[in-house]
Chain A
Amino acid sequence: GNSVTQMEGPVTLSEEAFLTINCTYTATGYPSLFWYVQYPGEGLQLLLKATKADDKGSNKGFEATYRKETTSFHLEKGSVQVSDSAVYFCALKGNTPLVFGKGTRLSVIA
């Protein structure tokens, strides 16, 4: 079945550091890929998505590229801020409901 594996956290970075959160997937067919963010005490928000191979999703300085050859969708940001502290979930959707990774907690310190 479909599954998502993302790097274990927590990840702690200093402000303005470069961020990478790895995500790989297993799926049949051609799923759409997503990154969701959950800020403390809030629900999930869609951060970015990509619907086909080589697509790059981007939002709020974050970006991720759909790599079919490596079945990956790594999340990157060039310069993180304290306000980026949250839990990030990689997810995929084929012909089934969204399947989520376990989440990666990011803490950014000033």
Chain B
Amino acid sequence: GAVVSQHPSRVICKSGTSVKIECRSLDFQATTMFWYRQFPKQSLMLMATSNEGSKATYEQGVEKDKFLINHASLTLSTLTVTSAHPEDSSFYICSATSTATYEQYFGPGTRLTVT
């Protein structure tokens, strides 16, 4: 089946540093990838939609200069949290839409902790 991987699965960084999270579709191509944020005991909040080769579309209230998204190929999207602060600590989940089936598949998530 379709697999989406995320790397790293867990990361701890110091306040003020930047962290990059990778999302890869392993066995399918994805023109569209999504980034979600999940707070404890809450639902997924869509942060942005990225399309291969174009700028990401950010949801209202999401700072595009803080959460940099790059979708350079049909199998890779990256989310960079710049100048991270403790309030950015969260579970970040990516998903990818298969160009063949239009199904949306989810990665296992990345736990970010900013100290």
Does the CB pair A98–B104 fall under 8 Å?
A: yes
Q: Is the contact region of chain B dominated by helix, strand, or loop, or is it mixed?
A: strand
Contacts of B104 in A (CB 8 A): 93, 97-98
A89 within 8 A of B: yes
Known: A101-B43, A103-B42. A44 touches B49 (CB 8 A): no
B44 with A100: CB separation less than 8 A? yes
- Chain A residue with Cβ nearest B111: A41
B67 at the interface (CB under 8 A from A): no
Interchain CB contact under 8 A, A97 and B42: no
Within 8 Å of chain A (Cβ to Cβ): is B93? yes
B34 and chain A: residue at smallest CB distance: A97
Residue-wise, chain B 15-49 has the 8 Å CB interface mask toward A (1 for contact) of: 00000000000000000001000000111101001
Closest residue of chain B to A102, judged by CB? B43
Q: Contact between A44 and B43 (Cβ–Cβ < 8 Å)?
A: no
A97-B43 contact, Cβ under 8 Å, with A43-B108, A44-B93, A44-B106: no
Contact A89 B44 (CB under 8 A): yes
Total contacting residues, chain B, CB less than 8 A: 18
Majority-rule SS of A interface residues: strand
Checking A42, A100, A103 against B108 with a beta-carbon cut-off of 8 angstroms, the contacting residue is A42
Name the one of A45, A46, A89 contacting B43, with C-beta atoms under 8 angstroms.
Answer: A89
The distance in angstroms between the C-alpha atoms of A44 and B44, with both chains bound, is 10
Tell me the bound Cα distance from A93 to B41 in angstroms: 22
**Contact indicator B93/A97 (Cβ below 8 Å):** no
Residues on B facing A (Cβ under 8 Å): 4, 6, 34, 41-44, 46, 49, 93, 95, 103-109
